């Protein structure tokens, strides 16, 4: 390998490790998400730039789409830190067709994407269609990148020496390699990829719709793992299984392109280099010393039941032994785990042995995320692993606990968290984003912290997520920008649909109006597709929850006094109508002001977005009591529902920003009134604790274009939407209920209906006044 010094320094973890465990290389480990200790200053700078690229939110002007699943790389690789795995809501579908002759091909969803089924498509009003010929659908949960560069350095020969494709030793475990352009594959659930560059460029296009060109050989030679095609040894072929090859194989040479209007490549070569380098430089998880009786007993149980038959404790590398706990080979895992997808040489029932380093912190587990706990994951094994699985099940409770404890010691235990908040993360104070709206008593502060932790917590399938459809596996899944409780990007948008009757009336589909992103029914990508008769589709952007408690405190009479349903009080083309929920209660939450209280808003979200059931509560109409999954109802208790509602109620409003140009923003405030924005976006609403400066009237207005229709909900018509608050606007993009506007200027220009005169006044204003208004809105 070019420039690689072969000197090895080994660190002995214990004095009496059994065969197969033993020492590991030094300088390979760090806390999850941190770079290799051996990284040079230049590499560290590249690492930080690459991490910034992974966190970058892509908009349409940056090349997002036209079809996509997420809007940034770290969306799928976030647990417990950037570069890790993803929750259930970040899983995705891959579709294919098994022909009558047994051959297999991937299907296209909103264009070629290697079988990846896209959730959003700017050119299609509903979920992109799953082709009718699709008869195989697999689910994929994102894979962590920790130690990826170290895996790239492992020679093909080191992987191949463990292969036993014909089970010559008769132990029931075969193991065979997959190949990528003649090289031994090692990345992906089917070991279908050898190149980290290719493993990144593919998802960039398939999941974000972001195009890129391959790195040049000069760039590849400068990567942390030399990936140039000028390496000293020739690439392996399928018949040349004894050759050694140290350098990372070259990525495919084909550029990716699309026709979304953004010039290709949409990710610059420099940014791609930094992003690939970031992945290569991520350190391996820190494996704990096996130096306690409990861990030793767990390690011995690991060996005794046969886990090491596939999860090889060590793989040799140029740096020394790596504690990967994987052979990186394909194994037949039996019919229940089979996804039916062929990748290269991998059949529909074969999967790569997943590395176990960092296991504590990267759940949910298995290729499809079906297991919430490590024990569930072990018991889900089948096929070649059936014997080891049964041996584990036969252990006594204490030995099973010890084995799981040993697996938890393989890195990440101190960073493991029920959600994304780091362990012992400080709670923001009053005046800080995501903090409470006022000073809290000790008991209130404890309740706020507990509610925040529950809001962040991921729920698993065994706890009732799904039912069977869902959009998120936690409250934070959709509300995390810029802080817990904030808004969400396009990649967590909710889609709703309906039917316009011949007489122009709205008819809800029999499957309900929500088109969910995910389903807990494995292999059923059509479970979340639109009813065929649907003619109305509406995207819902995730709004911020910050400050909702202050809006709940606004008396009904204050809102009612602003209403002008017949446009007679102030005949200016702007009416404004109060939304009424069941029982005549005034609605104020949601894009259609369809929910009257934060408790019901919480109940509705837990049911609609997470698929959780809850007990009946007198006087409350939102929240499902029963569903048809296998988990006993209710799946969440009233105490937890009320805890979440209290957390949201106590969240402080967005913190205003100091404008870069105070005079410009001051002029913008004047323009805000002059063009008529304040007619609907009322600057302040009176409340018992003082004015609530949210810039909303909380009323319904018809603002859609004449030919556009949305969803009818509670008392809101198909063309009505609630005036959204403008506080914190700078942090809540993209804008509008659909998320169609990337900028504040685009959002204003998209107003129609009752707001058309205001929009036209803005468009006609001098450019300096328009810039001033945008500056003012960005300071709220």
| Per-residue model confidence as pLDDT tens digits over 422-465 | 999 999 999 999 999 999 999 999 999 999 999 999 999 999 99
Does the pLDDT of residue 146 top 90, yes or no? yes
Contact 247, 226 (CB under 8 A): yes
pLDDT score at 582:
85
**Closest CA relative to residue 411, chosen from 286, 245, 296:** 286
Write out the two tokens for 543: 């709004």
CATH topology of domain 662-777: Cytochrome Bc1 Complex; Chain D, domain 2 (1.10.760)
Integer distance in angstroms from the first to the last C-alpha of the chain?
55
Contact 443, 324 (CB under 8 A): no
Q: Taking residues 643-662, report their average pLDDT.
A: 96
Q: Buried b / exposed e across 327-346, counting CB within 10 Å, b at 16+?
A: bbbbbbbbeebbbbbbbbbb
Q: Taking residues 353-357, report their average pLDDT.
A: 98
Higher per-residue confidence, 131 vs 545: 545
Please report the sign of the dihedral spanned by the C-alpha atoms of residue 542, residue 543, residue 549, residue 551. Answer: negative
**352's torsion region: left (phi>0), alpha (psi -120 to 50) or beta?**
beta
Q: Which whole-number Å values give the CA distances from 589 to 436, 442, 547, 638, 724, in the listed order?
A: 19, 29, 12, 20, 9
Lowest-pLDDT choice from 115-119, 304-308, 721-725: 115-119
Which DSSP string do the residues of 568-610 spell out, in sequence order? -SS-SS---B-EE-GGGPEE-BTTTT-B-SHHHHHHHHHHHTT
Q: Binning pLDDT at 50, 70 and 90, where does residue 200 land?
A: very high
Does the pLDDT of residue 154 top 80, yes or no? yes
- Three-state DSSP at 96 gives strand
pLDDT score at 3:
36
Q: Considering the entire predicted model, what is its pTM?
A: 0.93
Share of the chain above pLDDT 70, in %: 93
pLDDT score at 122:
79
pLDDT score at 532:
74
pLDDT score at 466:
87
pLDDT score at 222:
95
Does the pLDDT of residue 70 top 60, yes or no? yes
pLDDT digits (tens, 9 = 90+) for 673-705: 999 999 999 999 999 999 999 999 999 999 999
Contact 579, 714 (CB under 8 A): yes
Distance CA 451, CA 445 (A): 10
Please report the sign of the dihedral spanned by the C-alpha atoms of residue 142, residue 145, residue 147, residue 148. Answer: positive
pLDDT score at 523:
62
Lowest-pLDDT choice from 205-214, 250-259, 326-335, 492-501: 250-259
Q: Taking residues 140-167, report their average pLDDT.
A: 96
pLDDT score at 112:
84
Does the pLDDT of residue 127 top 90, yes or no? no
**Closest CA relative to residue 152, chosen from 237, 85, 251:** 251
Distance CA 537, CA 382 (A): 42
Q: Which residues contact 486 (CB under 8 A, 6 or more apart)?
A: 433, 434, 479, 480, 544, 545, 546, 728, 731, 732
pLDDT score at 16:
52
Alpha helices (runs of H) in 161-268, residue ranges in sequence order:
196-208, 217-222
Q: Binning pLDDT at 50, 70 and 90, where does residue 233 land?
A: very low
Residues of the chain with CATH 1.10.760.10: 662-777
Q: Taking residues 337-366, report their average pLDDT.
A: 97
Does the pLDDT of residue 5 top 70, yes or no? no
Share of the chain above pLDDT 90, in %: 83
Contact 735, 746 (CB under 8 A): yes
pLDDT digits (tens, 9 = 90+) for 617-629: 998 889 999 998 8
Distance CA 322, CA 303 (A): 18
pLDDT score at 2:
33
Write out the two tokens for 235: 């690439």
Examine residue 167 and say whether the peptide bond preceding it is cis (omega within 30 degrees of 0): no
pLDDT digits (tens, 9 = 90+) for 266-325: 999 999 999 999 999 999 999 999 999 999 999 999 999 999 999 999 999 999 999 999
Does the pLDDT of residue 13 top 60, yes or no? no
């Amino acid at each position: 390998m070019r420039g690689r010094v072969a000197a090895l320094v080994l660190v002995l973890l214990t004095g009496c490790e059994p065969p197969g465990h033993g020492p590991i290389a030094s300088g390979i480990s760090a806390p999850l998400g941190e770079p290799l200790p051996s990284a040079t200053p230049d590499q560290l700078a590249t690492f930080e730039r690459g991490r910034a690229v992974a966190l970058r939110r892509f908009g349409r002007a940056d090349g997002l789409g036209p079809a996509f699943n997420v809007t940034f790389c770290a969306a799928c690789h976030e647990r417990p830190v950037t570069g890790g795995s993803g929750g259930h809501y970040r899983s995705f579908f891959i579709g294919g067709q098994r022909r009558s002759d047994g051959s297999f091909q991937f299907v296209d969803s909103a264009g070629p994407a290697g079988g990846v089924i896209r959730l959003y498509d700017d050119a299609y009003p509903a979920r992109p269609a799953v082709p009718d010929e699709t008869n195989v659908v697999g689910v994929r949960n994102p894979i962590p990148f920790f130690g990826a560069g170290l895996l790239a350095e492992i020679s093909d020969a080191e992987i191949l020496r463990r292969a036993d494709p014909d089970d010559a030793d008769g132990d029931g475990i075969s193991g065979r390699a997959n190949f990528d352009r003649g090289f031994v594959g090692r990345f992906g659930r089917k070991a279908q990829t050898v190149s980290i560059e290719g493993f990144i460029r593919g998802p960039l296009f398939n999941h974000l719709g972001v195009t890129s060109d391959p790195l040049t050989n000069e760039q590849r030679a400068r990567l942390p793992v030399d990936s140039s095609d000028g390496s000293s040894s020739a690439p392996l072929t399928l018949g040349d299984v004894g050759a050694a090859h140290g350098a990372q194989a070259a990525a495919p040479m084909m550029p990716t392109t699309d026709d979304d209007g953004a010039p290709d490549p949409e990710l610059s070569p420099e940014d791609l280099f930094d992003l690939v380098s970031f992945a290569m430089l991520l350190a391996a998880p820190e494996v704990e010393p096996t130096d306690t009786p409990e861990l030793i007993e767990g390690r011995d149980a690991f060996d005794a039941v046969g886990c090491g038959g596939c999860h090889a404790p060590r793989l040799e590398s140029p740096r020394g032994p790596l504690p990967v706990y994987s052979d990186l080979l394909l194994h037949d895992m039996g019919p229940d785990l089979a996804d039916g997808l062929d990748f290269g040489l991998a059949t529909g029932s074969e999967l790569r042995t997943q590395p176990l380093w960092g296991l504590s912190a990267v759940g949910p587990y298995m290729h499809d995320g079906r297991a919430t706990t490590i024990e569930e994951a072990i018991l889900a094994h089948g096929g070649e692993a059936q014997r080891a699985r049964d041996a584990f099940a036969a252990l006594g409770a204490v030995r099973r606990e010890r084995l799981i404890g040993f697996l938890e010691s393989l890195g990440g235990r101190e960073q493991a968290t029920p959600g994304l908040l780091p362990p012992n993360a400080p709670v923001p104070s009053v005046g800080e984003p995501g903090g409470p709206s006022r000073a809290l008593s000790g008991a209130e502060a404890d309740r706020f912290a507990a509610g925040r932790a529950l809001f962040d917590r991921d729920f698993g399938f065994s706890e009732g997520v799904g039912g069977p459809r869902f959009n998120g596996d936690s409250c934070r899944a959709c509300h995390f920008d810029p802080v817990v409780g904030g808004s969400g990007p396009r990649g967590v948008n909710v889609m709703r649909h309906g039917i316009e009757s011949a007489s122009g009336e709205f008819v809800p589909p029999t499957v309900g109006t929500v088109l969910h992103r995910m389903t807990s029914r494995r292999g059923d990508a059509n479970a979340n597709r639109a009813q065929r008769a649907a003619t109305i589709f509406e995207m819902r952007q995730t709004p911020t929850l910050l400050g909702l408690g202050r809006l709940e405190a606004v008396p009904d009479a204050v809102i009612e006094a602003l209403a002008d349903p017949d446009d007679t009080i102030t005949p200016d083309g702007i009416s404004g109508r109060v939304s009424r929920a069941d029982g005549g209660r005034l609605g104020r939450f949601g894009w259609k002001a369809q929910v009257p209280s934060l408790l019901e808003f919480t109940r509705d979200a837990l049911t609609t977005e997470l698929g959780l059931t809850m007990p009946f509560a007198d006087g409350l109409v939102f929240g499902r009591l029963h569903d048809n999954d296998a988990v006993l109802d209710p799946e969440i208790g009233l105490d937890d529902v009320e805890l979440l509602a209290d957390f949201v109620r106590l969240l402080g409003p967005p913190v205003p920003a100091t404008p870069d140009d105070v005079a410009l923003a001051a002029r913008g405030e004047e323009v805000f009134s002059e063009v008529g924005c304040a007619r609907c976006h009322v600057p302040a609403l009176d409340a018992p604790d003082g004015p609530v400066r949210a810039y909303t009237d909380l009323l319904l207005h018809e603002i859609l274009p004449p030919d556009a229709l949305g969803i009818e909900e509670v008392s809101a018509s198909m063309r009505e939407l609630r005036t959204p608050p403008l506080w914190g606007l700078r942090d809540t993009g993209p804008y509008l209920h659909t998320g169609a506007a990337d900028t504040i200027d685009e959002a204003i220009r998209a107003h129609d209906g009752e707001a058309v005169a205001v929009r036209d006044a803005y468009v006609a204003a001098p450019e300096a006044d328009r810039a001033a208004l945008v500056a003012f809105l960005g300071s709220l």
